[in-house]
């Protein structure tokens, strides 16, 4: 893709989300709609945002028994998303069924470890090893299941790319040099993630909360 940046439109107001998308559409490659947006506006909201004319990434992070996830994937066929997320921790059967139920042109990518978590959070969940270890284990699982790729932080994407040469890698939690980290714990710059093998760069607040979102998007695009 010519521009790997997907703007995270995690806004509860449909009109505001669509207006922001229109402002920056010339400087991003797609639009990510997360759980907050989907719960507020459902399929209608997705159709409205799709009118902007960019690929849609539905970041729903589906995680349930295989049959339920497969049913959810079938239910969103009509939305024709370019990318949909599921949780890698749902297991191989769930991942396989999610891919089998997805639309022909939809990439299914598995969330490995949220960028808001670190090693201490893993330990509290009873998961041993470092975030890197955990992401590599789940990357191997995702690859074996036959889905398209994974979601991981920029700190792991280089190693994941080496492990899975033709995988599709979505990297969130990115921050341009000098911007606030916020609630993210494992961040890198968009350029660093791209150089390390990221296929899609998910960027939200550095664009959506900028005084001039279009200029912020242009500035990020210029670094890639």
Active site residues: 61
Per the structure block, which two tokens stand in for 197? 């093998």
Q: Report d(CA 93, CA 2) in Å as an integer.
A: 34
Q: Report d(CA 34, CA 88) in Å as an integer.
A: 17
Using CB atoms within 10 A of its CB, is residue 188 exposed (0-12), middle (13-18) or buried (19+)? buried
Residue located via tokens 């494992």: 186
Of 220, 191, 222, residue with least CA distance to 207: 220
Q: Report d(CA 191, CA 174) in Å as an integer.
A: 9
102, 76 Cβ separation under 8 angstroms: no
- Contact partners, residue 146, CB within 8 Å, separation at least 6: 95, 96, 99
Per the structure block, which two tokens stand in for 113? 């470890």
Using CB atoms within 10 A of its CB, is residue 9 exposed (0-12), middle (13-18) or buried (19+)? buried
Helices (H), 25-179: 35-50, 66-75, 92-101, 119-124, 131-145, 157-163
């Amino acid at each position: 893709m010519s521009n790997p940046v997907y703007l995270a439109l995690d806004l509860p107001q449909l009109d505001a989300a669509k207006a922001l998308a229109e402002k920056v559409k010339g400087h991003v490659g797609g639009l990510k709609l997360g759980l907050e947006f989907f719960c507020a506006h459902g399929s209608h909201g997705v159709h409205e945002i799709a009118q902007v004319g960019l690929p849609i990434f539905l970041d729903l992070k589906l995680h349930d028994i295989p049959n339920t996830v497969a049913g959810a994937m079938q239910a969103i066929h009509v939305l024709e998303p370019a990318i949909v997320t599921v949780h890698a921790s749902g297991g191989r059967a769930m991942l396989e069924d999610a891919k089998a139920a997805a639309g022909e042109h939809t990439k299914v990518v598995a969330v490995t470890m949220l960028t808001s978590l670190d090693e201490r959070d893993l330990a509290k969940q009873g998961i041993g090893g470092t975030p890197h270890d955990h992401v590599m284990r789940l990357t191997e699982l995702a690859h074996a299941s036959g889905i398209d790729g994974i979601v991981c932080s920029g700190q792991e994407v280089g190693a994941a790319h080496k492990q899975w040469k033709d995988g599709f890698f979505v990297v969130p939690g990115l921050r341009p040099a000098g911007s606030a980290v916020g609630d993210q714990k494992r961040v890198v710059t968009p350029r660093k993630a791209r150089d390390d093998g990221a296929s899609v760069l998910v960027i939200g607040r550095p664009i959506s909360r900028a005084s001039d979102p279009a200029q912020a998007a242009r500035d990020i695009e210029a670094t890639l």
